[in-house]
Amino acid sequence: MEWANLPHDFAEPLELVIVAISITAMLGILVLFGQWWQK
Amino acid sequence: MATAVVARPVARPQPRARDEEVLVWPDLIFIEFISALVFTVGLLILSTFMNAPLLDQANPDVTPNPSKAPWYLLNLQELLLHMNAAMAGIIVPTVWLILLAAFPYFDRDNEGQGAWFATENSWRITIISGLVAFVGTWLLILWDTGKIAYFLHSWFGLSGGDTLRFLENVRSMQSQLPWPEWSRSITYLPFKLRILDGTGRGGPTTFQHLDFPGWLVEQAIPITALVGLPSLLIYSLWRSGLVVSRRDALLALFTGFVVVFGVLTLVGTAFRGQGQQLVMPWDLKVSEGIPGQEAH
Amino acid sequence: MAVEAPPKPTLADKIYDRLFHNYVWKSIFRTGYPNTPRNQMLIVATNVFLHLHPTRIHRTHVKITHTYCLGGLSFFMFLGLTVTGIMLMFYYVPSVERAYLDIQNITTTVQFGQLMRNMHRWMAHAMVILVFLHMMRVFYTGAYKPPREFNWVVGVILLVLTFLLSFTGYLLPWDQLAFWAITVGSEIAGSAPVLGPKTRFWMLGGFEVGPNALIRFYTLHVIGLPLLAAIFMAVHFWRIRRDGGLARPL
């Protein structure tokens, strides 16, 4: 899938930023789950 | 006999509070399962939409510009731009790791353990030291890349001219001040101490002669900043009454470290372009270094 | 007072009985289904994977907002990296002639190769970040205080091992990004006073990044450092149990 490649100039900063955002989002989902499941 | 002569206090685990406990199965196992599931699914989705980069095959003759270390070492590479290589690359991280490992031996008081920000001023200390570290690190980086002098000149028309040029960045203290010739090579040992200078490269000290302006700029000023600024922060927090215990001091130090680490990594990743110039992230261009294709 | 006769077993009950109460099944799963407190405790105490946990845990430690599962997630990332790493190892040879072509092969020809490589790289970044966040959590909850001091030191060692694992893995694709990043990294290592150049020579197996460096980094990355990390993780997890579980307010 060609479109999944990062742009050449920003490959490194982008990969770090996107991974960091994903991890924050996933931890956020976990916290929301905890608030719903563990009252 | 191997028994202790003096009874020294040994930390023992707390007794269990059985009426406050819940069963691990299912309460904890379920949470662990859900977190593993969320991360697996999340990373699978990320892996579907974003490919790991693969550039051209390794070629020792072609150097991309800028060449950067992996992102978790970019904070060290950023430091490298501001001080001597041995300091930035080895001494600072080693000293910091040893300090980090020594934290629990400095703060042995059990007060406030087991909960987030449980001691009285902990939240305020964290916020203040985080902010100070953030702003301070940015200011230092901007100053040392000459951006503050440039900013003052182009926005306010202020310029120190030639007399104040040595304040533009740290390195200009070495080149712009009228150092007497003898200070650039002060002999302090009658023989060359080769064992410490295995690199054979120059530096402010070659373990026989001392290049005083170089030493000042590459080692003295950075060490003063790295040791003095956190001490100043903790001291002022102590004088203001926020920092009361050893734990508070460690809070300020650790928060400061985390924020500085983050800022250095951010600057190294997104703000350093060709020739390690400070650029805005959207102006970041990587030249692949292929001869004949430099204009990118 | 008449006692009600027990309900007659339905077909579903009989099938369940045949499947889950037979000799073979019960030889594998020796505790009953964990729907009673006794069985729930037994299964945690007698299962090799689960007996990492105590059977009961303080109720504040189950809340996600206490630990955010960061330690567990770091370990989970390690396991995921091991699995994806083994998948990648089937198709990768650490020689300078083959390495880059193997990666290209993995990402184009091999079924799910691109997915495995992507997972491996993003999990690697995630592990470094999660380990760092875990250290922050332990610090801010004061869980390094006595008697947990040495466990914090073991944790710092694990942090360094995580960075080293990531660093050694970074070189393996043998592309420009990898080659020059490791060159810069080893230059930094080589600038140490006294032992710098020797350390760099020992690390790279030569004066510059080349075939020796590749095989060295490969060996460290796939077996040397993971074994070390596993040993220190064993110490780390054991100490948590020995210290009475996670840190609690006094």
Task: Kindly report, residue by residue over A1-26, the tens digit of the pLDDT.
Answer: 567 787 777 777 888 899 999 999 99
Mean pLDDT of B233-242: 92
Chain A hits for C128, CB-CB cut-off 8 Å, are none
Cα of C166 to nearest chain B Cα, Å: 9
Q: Is A25 near chain C, with CB under 8 Å?
A: no
| C64, C121, C122 member nearest A31 (Cβ) | C64
| pLDDT at residue C38, as a whole number | 93
CA–CA gap between residue C243 and residue B215 (Å, rounded): 48
**Residue matched to tokens 């997972």:** C119
| pLDDT at residue B82, as a whole number | 86
Mean pLDDT of B33-53: 94
Q: Is A30 near chain B, with CB under 8 Å?
A: yes
Chains touching chain A at 3 or more Cβ pairs under 8 angstroms?
B, C
The structure tokens listed for C86 are 């083994």
Q: Please report how many Cα atoms fall inside a 13 Å half-sphere around the Cα of residue C236, on the Cβ side.
A: 20
Which pLDDT band holds residue B295 (cuts at 50, 70, 90)? very low
- Bridge partner list, B272: B278
Q: Is A22 near chain B, with CB under 8 Å?
A: yes
CA–CA gap between residue B166 and residue B172 (Å, rounded): 5
Mean pLDDT of B158-167: 72
Cα of C215 to nearest chain B Cα, Å: 15
Q: How many C-beta atoms lie closer than 10 Å to residue C196's C-beta?
A: 20
Distance (Å) of CA B128 to CA B236, B263, C10, C205: 11, 16, 68, 47
> Is residue B61 scored above 50 in pLDDT?
yes
Cα torsion B177, B179, B181, B186: sign: negative
Mean pLDDT lowest among B83-92, B131-140, C49-58: B83-92
The residue of chain B with its CA nearest to that of C137 is B116
Tally C-beta pairs within 8 A across A and B.
Answer: 55
The residue type found at C136 is M
Mean pLDDT lowest among B56-70, B95-109, C20-34, C125-139: B56-70
Cα torsion B5, B7, B12, B16: sign: positive
Q: Please report how many Cα atoms fall inside a 13 Å half-sphere around the Cα of residue C70, on the Cβ side.
A: 21
Contacts of B237 (CB under 8 A, 6+ apart): B125, B128, B129, B243, B248, B249, B252
Chain C hits for A30, CB-CB cut-off 8 Å, are 64, 68-69
Chain A hits for C65, CB-CB cut-off 8 Å, are 31, 34
The H-or-E segment that residue B209 falls in is strand B209-210
Mean pLDDT of B200-219: 73
Nearest CA to C85 among C49, C109, C110, C121? C121
Distance (Å) of CA B132 to CA B97, B142, C19, C201: 22, 15, 65, 40
Instruction: Give C85-89's long-range contacts (Cβ < 8 A, gap of 24+).
Output: C85/C120, C85/C222, C87/C116, C88/C116, C88/C117, C88/C120, C89/C222
| pLDDT at residue B294, as a whole number | 55
Mean pLDDT lowest among B134-143, C150-159, C212-221: B134-143
Percentage, residues of chain C above pLDDT 70: 100
> Residues C121, B52: contact at Cβ < 8 Å?
yes
Q: Is B173 near chain A, with CB under 8 Å?
A: no
SS3 B210: strand
| B51, B269, B286 member nearest A5 (Cβ) | B51
Mean pLDDT lowest among A5-9, B145-149, C79-83: A5-9
Which pLDDT band holds residue C211 (cuts at 50, 70, 90)? very high
Mutate to test the interface with A, among C58, C61, C64 (most CBs of A within 10 A): C64
Mean pLDDT lowest among B146-155, C27-36, C173-182: B146-155
Tens digits of residue pLDDT in B163-208:
677 777 777 777 777 778 877 777 777 777 766 655 555 566 667 7
Contacts of C142 (CB under 8 A, 6+ apart): B110, B112, B113, B114, B115, B118, B247, C247
Q: Is B164 near chain A, with CB under 8 Å?
A: no
Domain boundaries, chain C: 68-242
Distance (Å) of CA B74 to CA B80, B161, B269, C45, C184: 9, 34, 7, 44, 10
| pLDDT at residue C218, as a whole number | 96
Mean pLDDT of C218-245: 95
The residue of chain A with its CA nearest to that of C128 is A20
CA–CA gap between residue B85 and residue C191 (Å, rounded): 6
CB contact under 8 A, A12 and B269: yes
The structure tokens listed for A21 are 């955002």
> Residues B268, B68: contact at Cβ < 8 Å?
yes
> Is residue B264 scored above 50 in pLDDT?
yes
The residue of chain B with its CA nearest to that of C191 is B86
| C58, C114, C249 member nearest B118 (Cβ) | C249
Mean pLDDT lowest among B188-192, B205-209, B263-267, C224-228: B205-209
The residue type found at B237 is L
CA–CA gap between residue C72 and residue C95 (Å, rounded): 35
- Cα–Cα–Cα angle for C133, B267, B39, rounded to 5 degrees: 30
pTM: 0.91
> Residues B87, B223: contact at Cβ < 8 Å?
yes
Cα of C62 to nearest chain A Cα, Å: 9
C68-242 in CATH: which number? 1.20.810.10
Distance (Å) of CA C238 to CA B108, B249, C51, C235, C243: 22, 30, 11, 5, 9
DSSP-derived letter for residue B187 is E
Which one has a higher pLDDT value, B215 or C39? C39
- Strands (E) in A1-39, as ranges, are none
- Bridge partner list, C57: B22
CB contact under 8 A, B51 and A16: no
SS3 C72: helix
CA–CA gap between residue C19 and residue B163 (Å, rounded): 91
Distance (Å) of CA B200 to CA B89, B188, B207, B220, B271: 18, 18, 11, 22, 33
- Strands (E) in chain C, as ranges, are 56-58
> Is residue C89 scored above 70 in pLDDT?
yes
DSSP A1-39: -GGGSPPSTTHHHHHHHHHHHHHHHHHHHHHHHHHHH--
Chain C hits for B47, CB-CB cut-off 8 Å, are 115, 118-119, 122
Q: Is A12 near chain C, with CB under 8 Å?
A: yes
Q: Is A5 near chain C, with CB under 8 Å?
A: no
- Max distance between CA atoms of chain C, in angstroms, equals 93
Domain boundaries, chain B: 65-283
Cα of B173 to nearest chain C Cα, Å: 24
Report CA Rg, chain B.
25
Which pLDDT band holds residue C12 (cuts at 50, 70, 90)? very high
Chain A hits for C177, CB-CB cut-off 8 Å, are 11-12
The residue of chain B with its CA nearest to that of A34 is B31
The residue type found at C121 is R
Nearest CA to B81 among B213, B233, B273, B254? B273
The residue type found at C127 is M
CA–CA gap between residue B81 and residue B272 (Å, rounded): 11
> Residues B122, C139: contact at Cβ < 8 Å?
no
> Is residue B293 scored above 80 in pLDDT?
no
Q: What are phi and psi of B203, to 5 degrees?
A: 175, 175
| pLDDT at residue B202, as a whole number | 57
Which pLDDT band holds residue C150 (cuts at 50, 70, 90)? very high
| A20, A23, A30 member nearest C64 (Cβ) | A30
Residues in C 151-180 with any Cβ partner in A closer than 8 A: 177
| C64, C104, C118 member nearest B51 (Cβ) | C118
Mutate to test the interface with B, among C145, C152, C154, C239 (most CBs of B within 10 A): C145
> Residues A27, B62: contact at Cβ < 8 Å?
no
| 3-state helix vs strand vs coil in chain C, percent to 5 | 70, 0, 30
CA–CA gap between residue A12 and residue B284 (Å, rounded): 11
CA–CA gap between residue B67 and residue B274 (Å, rounded): 9
Chain C hits for A1, CB-CB cut-off 8 Å, are 114
Mean pLDDT of B75-89: 85
